[in-house]
Amino acid sequence: MSLNIAVMISGSGSNLQSIIDAIEKNSLKSEIKIVISNTKNAYGLVRAEKHGIKSRYLSKNNYNSPREYEEELLEILNNKKIDLIVLAGYLGIVPGEIIKHYKNKIINIHPSLIPSFCGKGFYGLTVHEKVLEYGVKVTGATTHFVDEGVDTGPIIMQEPFKIEDEITAEELQKEVLKIEHKILVETLGLIENKKLEINGRRVLIRR
Ligand code: GAR
């Protein structure tokens, strides 16, 4: 099934790029209807433009109230008939109304094995610095459905990465990003093909 996707970003947009590439290679059937960034100069906005994808800079700071921002975002999503919202390096909080409205239709990619190294304050390079600081031997990436909490929704896919002694946080970030790109596209494939079944906190994959 082809889905109308909205991708929300804040930065470089390499995860966005992995979705664009998969669609262009016909590995995914869906269409990115809009890219929304809460950062004006996000490189992901340039990526969208390069591929002829509509984009918007939308920050809650430019609205008089959270409600106004929420309404604007909801209107954009409704106008584009969005079926699925992908948070791809989106470092903002999705308004509660949108989460309610798009229940089990918002996914996020996170650069650790949730429930470790996630939640408030765990984003970007910080995650990998904390991973090394703690001394865990394995990290990885997670895709999950988004609920009202931060990184708390049902887990869809996880893939581990074994940590060698010499690795730096920057190198770790690069390695984990490769995994992110892979499992994000795989997750979208599973959703397109209606292979996921949510059973409480467990997401069952029908192969
Ligand atoms: C990615 O590593 C993503 O998992 C992370 O931000 C990076 C964005 O990279 N997201 C979070 O930390 C969310 N808590 P990208 O802009 O190149 O896709």
User: Sorting pLDDT into bands at 50, 70 and 90, what band is 207?
Assistant: confident
Provide CATH code, domain 1-102: 3.40.50.170
CB-count burial class (<10 Å; 0-12, 13-18, 19+) for 24: exposed
Q: State the CB neighbour count (10 A cutoff) for residue 76.
A: 17
Residue among 201, 126, 139 at smallest CA distance from 176: 139
Pocket test for ligand 1, best of 91, 120, 123, 171 (most atoms within 8 A of CB): 123
Contact 128 CB / ligand 1 (< 6 Å): no
**pTM of model > 0.75:** yes
Which residues belong to CATH 3.40.50.170 in the chain?
1-102, 110-207
pLDDT above 90: percentage of residues in the chain: 99
Centre of ligand 1 to C-alpha 79, Å, is: 27
At the fourth CATH level, which superfamily is domain 110-207?
Formyl transferase, N-terminal domain (3.40.50.170)
In the chain, the N- to C-terminal Cα span, in Å, equals 16
Q: DSSP H helical segments within the chain, as ranges?
A: 14-24, 43-50, 66-79, 96-101, 124-134, 169-192
Residue among 132, 138, 207, 136 at smallest CA distance from 179: 138
Centre of ligand 1 to C-alpha 91, Å, is: 8
Does residue 205 surpass a pLDDT of 90?
Answer: yes
Mean per-residue pLDDT over the chain, rounded = 97
